[in-house]
Amino acid sequence: MGTIRSILAFVATLLSASLAFAQAPAAGGGGGGGAAMFTLSTTAFADGGVIPVRFSQAAPGAAPGEGTSPALTWANAPANTRSFVLHMHDMEVVRNRTTEDQLHWLVWNIPATATGLPEGLPRGATMPDGSRQTSATGPVYRGPGAGANGPMHHYVFELYALDIALPVEAADDPFATRTKVMEAIQGHILGKAVYLGLFRRPQ
């Protein structure tokens, strides 16, 4: 009888320990003592939803390879953020048989005080707030343009919060600029937020 009681007591101890472990926050899990999550969003389309034509290359009146950029907002940037980098790319496009995909928008040195980008950011290498932009089309937002006869393409918007402003100048090749920016942010990323949109041209 004493042995059974000992076994039951041992099992009860194990169950208590398991429950305590399950309820404890994971170490290094980004909880930050209840800190809110760094998020990126837009009212233009749902996360994982279809990007409206008006924000694509297929929009009526859109210049070749361009489009109207959607308004983006972000919240809960990490403490000590000095600047942001926004990277929009098409995951389905293979460039020159390499691991590079299509560059639709790269905006770097967005001020730490910013909480978003307005709809329809104009063409231009340098914005009034000092941020820089480029894409495969040039210094402008390149809207989604996947063909009507193929599958939906995945357009990923990635926002990085950095602990520095980047000393990066644009290269003649926008893809080389992206490489320079992505190399420069290594070791300086405080947080990352992601938003996804799907698109293919209307039939």
128's tokens? 């009034």
| DSSP code, position 28 | T
Hey, which bits of 30-186 come out as E strands? 39-41, 49-50, 72-75, 83-90, 102-111, 116-117, 132-134, 153-162
| DSSP code, position 82 | -
* Domain-embedded: residue 14: no
Q: Compute the average pLDDT of residues 65-85.
A: 98
Q: What pairing do the DSSP bridges indicate for beta strands 102-111 and 83-90?
A: antiparallel
Residue 66 neighbours by CB under 8 Å, 6+ apart: 57, 123, 137, 140, 141, 142, 143
Prediction pTM value: 0.83
* Domain-embedded: residue 84: yes
CATH number at residue 82: 3.90.280.10
As for how many domains the chain has, the answer is 1
Q: Is the pLDDT of residue 34 over 90?
A: no
Given a contact cutoff of 8 angstroms between Cβ atoms, the answer to whether 44 and 67 are in contact is no
**Lowest mean per-residue pLDDT among 67-71, 90-94, 153-157, 191-195:** 90-94
Given a contact cutoff of 8 angstroms between Cβ atoms, the answer to whether 135 and 126 are in contact is no
Of 5 and 132, more confident = 132
* Domain-embedded: residue 20: no
* Domain-embedded: residue 9: no
Of 99 and 157, more confident = 157
Distance of alpha carbon 66 from alpha carbon 59, whole angstroms:
9
Neighbour-count burial for 75-102, b at 16+ CB within 10 Å, e otherwise: eebbeebebbbbbbbbeeeeeeeeeebb
* Domain-embedded: residue 21: no
Domain that holds residue 158: 36-199
